[in-house]
Amino acid sequence: MGVGHGHGHSAARAADRRRLRWVLVVTGTVLVVEVVGAWITGSLALLADAGHMATDAGAVVLALGASYVAARPGGARSTFGYHRVEVMAALVNAVVLLGVCGYLAWAGVARLSDPPDVDGAGLVGFAVVGLLANAASLALLRGGDRSSLNLRGAINEVLADLVGSVLAIAAGVAIWVADWQHADPVASLVIAAMILPRAVLLIRDAGRVLLEIAPAELDLDDVVHHLTHAPGVVGVHDLHAWTITSGMISLSAHVTVRDEILEEQGVGAVLDALGDCVATHFDVRHTTFQVEPLSHQEHEDLGEMH
């Protein structure tokens, strides 16, 4: 990985941490306001939003902690550093979101048959406070590194809170104006339905990184095509591409080169050409190439994959 690339990633992390700290302050404040509001109004929608604000605060704490750990230098055995901690934090946040969805669905269905009386005007007032705070938090986070799964997890949490506040306001208006008490559990069910796909997508993306599946934006056939057009290259095999953490792609490959090119240009020049090729066409700078003379091709033993 190039030095500039590493410094850029560290600077982005530091900026994201500043945003997350501000969001934590805002979220904690609104959480207290909404818990009080849910107790005063008796609203499940507001309690659901407050409960999700609690998981949101936990998610931000987790994202902050993961960002600090990921910034630590690697040790003798942690040769890739601790970057994957951010991806694991994103996965935990997504699983928590699924738990919130389950609770909201269960409580919402239970209240549909016998909805309690909810203070519509009070619900609207407290939900507006939540809406303004969530909008401010979302504006802060959207200025960060959008490729980071860790930050995406926090953004998804805040965005779900924002939607929850909007639905809570709508439910409050329906109760306040039309005395439709079913609006409260219905809003809770809609909140759950809107959170679910975002949680599933975040789990999918984190799982791809942890399983070291090749990044979706990287066409491996295209990589092979470009590498085989480098001077003297006659074949590419044992190609691997994976994501260390969001925005940090690694690639390794065995590259067979004609003997006369190696003798004429040297291994260093061939490696420079291969690295420049992948960096220019695919913006991948963390690469490892094993250059093999064509005459050695019959002697290679890659072993058996287990």
pLDDT digit string (tens) for 145-164?
Answer: 555 666 776 777 777 778 87
Residue 6 reports pLDDT greater than 50: no
Q: What was the pLDDT predicted at 122?
A: 81
Rg of the chain in Å (alpha carbons): 26
Residue with tokens 């609006």: 183
- Say if CB 59 and CB 96 are below 8 A apart: yes
How sure is the predictor about 13, in pLDDT bands with cuts at 50, 70 and 90?
low
Which of these ranges, 128-137, 155-164, 287-296, has the smallest mean pLDDT?
155-164
Residue with tokens 């939003």: 49
In CATH terms, the superfamily for domain 220-299 is Cation efflux protein, cytoplasmic domain (3.30.70.1350)
- Which residues of the chain form CATH 3.30.70.1350? 220-299
- Say if CB 158 and CB 138 are below 8 A apart: yes
Backbone angles phi, psi at 288, to 5 degrees: -135, 120
Give mean pLDDT, residues 130-154: 72
Count the Cβ atoms, other than its own, within 10 Å of residue 118: 24
Please give the Cα distance from 190 to 160 (Å, whole number).
Answer: 11
Give mean pLDDT, residues 176-193: 85
Residue 173 reports pLDDT greater than 80: yes
Count the Cβ atoms, other than its own, within 10 Å of residue 263: 9
Helix axes 183-210, 84-112, angle to 10 degrees: 160
How sure is the predictor about 301, in pLDDT bands with cuts at 50, 70 and 90?
low
Q: Which CATH architecture has domain 3-210?
A: Up-down Bundle (1.20)
Closest CA to 166 of 190, 142, 182, 143: 190
Higher-scoring residue by pLDDT: 161, 190: 190
pLDDT tens-place string over residues 229-262: 998 999 999 999 998 877 788 999 999 999 999 9
Q: What was the pLDDT predicted at 222?
A: 95
- Which residues of the chain form CATH 1.20.1510.10? 3-210
Q: What was the pLDDT predicted at 45?
A: 67
Give mean pLDDT, residues 164-185: 86
Give mean pLDDT, residues 211-236: 92
How sure is the predictor about 48, in pLDDT bands with cuts at 50, 70 and 90?
low
